[in-house]
Amino acid sequence: MKRWHQPVLVEEVVGLLAPRPGGRYVDATVGTGGHAEAILQASAPDGWLWGFDRDPEALALAQERLAPFAGRFELQKGNYADLLMKLAPESCDGVLLDLGVSSLQLETPDRGFSFQADGPLDMRMDPAQRLTAADLVNSASEEELARWFWELGGERRSRAIARAIVRARPVTRTAQLAELVCAVVGRGGGARHPATRVFQALRIVVNDELGSLERGLEAAWRVLKPGGRLAVITFHSLEVRLVKAFGRERVRDYECPGDVDVPELRRPRPPQARWVTRKAVVPRAAEVEANPRSRSAQLRVLEKV
């Protein structure tokens, strides 16, 4: 059985990205190719797609999944933050960023992303990268760990968890880390596992997810043609904040010297973008029921003007 996963918000992405025949599109986080497949179908017979991903296992599966569209796509290993090194400015009609960790990664214990099954504390989206979550957990100071857990995970017991980790070192397994967290905060009875925030924070640091997003948004914008659309699917508030700030900067019809928005210093300018939808698009109830991981997904789409 193929390990192809159904991505989130497929119909919504296709509807808002509006792929058309002859268009040139980028799925910058292609995963196992679900969104790419839908974009190629919608842009038949001659739309073209570039797909990028840091995970070679996902790329191999995407290559097989997209085989019926041979001659209309190219897949490359790489971080979407490096799009400008791969593509020419203003060469694309649409770019998709589907952020966060994939189902393929979560469901493979040896990748170390999940606390649902024991595995090495890894969390690298690119297995060729040297830094792992175990490296961070066993070398960072208690203060660094607490700051990551609070700022990147929103974990209120961040200091106590960091203290417990430092005392228990070496911490090398996902189950070991999850148990340490549960021992501090309790197991609770909610839908969210107590270790969720800690795992999220470590994953973000290991993969420089926020830095990659900032660079990737800028790169995606530069490769878009005027009239092209940028679609971004986020899964947590830190991503949402960056995407909304990026959009606000381009939608507004004025600029300010420096980074301070002072009304008296505003200079009129034409807006660089418009929001295609005023509010984030979220999965329908049927999709959340079929795929509970989709419940936190939010889609936002900007059009370059």
Question: Does 117 fall in a domain?
Answer: no
Same domain as 228, residue 170 = no
Same domain as 46, residue 58 = yes
Question: Does 122 fall in a domain?
Answer: no
Residues of the domain holding 268: 10-104+209-304
DSSP designation for 107: T
For helices 174-185 and 196-206, give the axis angle rounded to 10 degrees.
130
Q: What is the pLDDT of residue 1?
A: 35
Please identify, among 206, 232, 251, the residue that sits at the C-terminal boundary of a domain: 206
* Alpha carbons 123 and 209: distance in angstroms, whole number: 12
Same domain as 224, residue 89 = yes
Please identify, among 206, 221, 237, the residue that sits at the C-terminal boundary of a domain: 206
Tell me the pLDDT tens digit for each residue of 10-60: 999 999 999 999 999 999 999 999 999 999 999 999 999 999 999 999 999
Who's near 2: CB < 8 A, 6+ residues apart? Answer: 61, 64, 65
Same domain as 223, residue 96 = yes
- The neighbouring-strand residues paired with 50 are 26, 74
Same domain as 202, residue 140 = yes
Question: Does 16 fall in a domain?
Answer: yes
With contact defined as beta carbons under 8 Å apart, do 76 and 113 qualify?
no
Same domain as 15, residue 97 = yes
Q: What is the pLDDT of residue 2?
A: 47
If one counts the domains in the chain, the total is 2
Question: Does 77 fall in a domain?
Answer: yes
List of the chain residues with pLDDT < 70: 1-4, 188-190
Question: Does 285 fall in a domain?
Answer: yes
* Alpha carbons 280 and 85: distance in angstroms, whole number: 30
Same domain as 178, residue 92 = no
Same domain as 271, residue 191 = no
Q: What is the pLDDT of residue 4?
A: 58
Same domain as 25, residue 99 = yes
Dig out the tokens for 50 from the structure. 């570039």
Same domain as 299, residue 229 = yes
Q: What is the pLDDT of residue 262?
A: 82
Same domain as 69, residue 32 = yes
Please identify, among 206, 236, 269, the residue that sits at the C-terminal boundary of a domain: 206
> Angle at CA 122, nearest 5°, toward 119 and 126?
130
CATH of the domain at 163: 1.10.150.170
First to last CA, the chain: 44
* Alpha carbons 291 and 107: distance in angstroms, whole number: 14
Q: Distances from the Cα of 32 to the Cαs of 5, 7, 102, 107, in angstroms?
A: 7, 9, 9, 13
Tell me the pLDDT tens digit for each residue of 113-131: 999 999 999 999 999 999 9
Question: Does 116 fall in a domain?
Answer: no
Question: Does 2 fall in a domain?
Answer: no
CATH of the domain at 88: 3.40.50.150
Same domain as 58, residue 182 = no
Question: Does 4 fall in a domain?
Answer: no
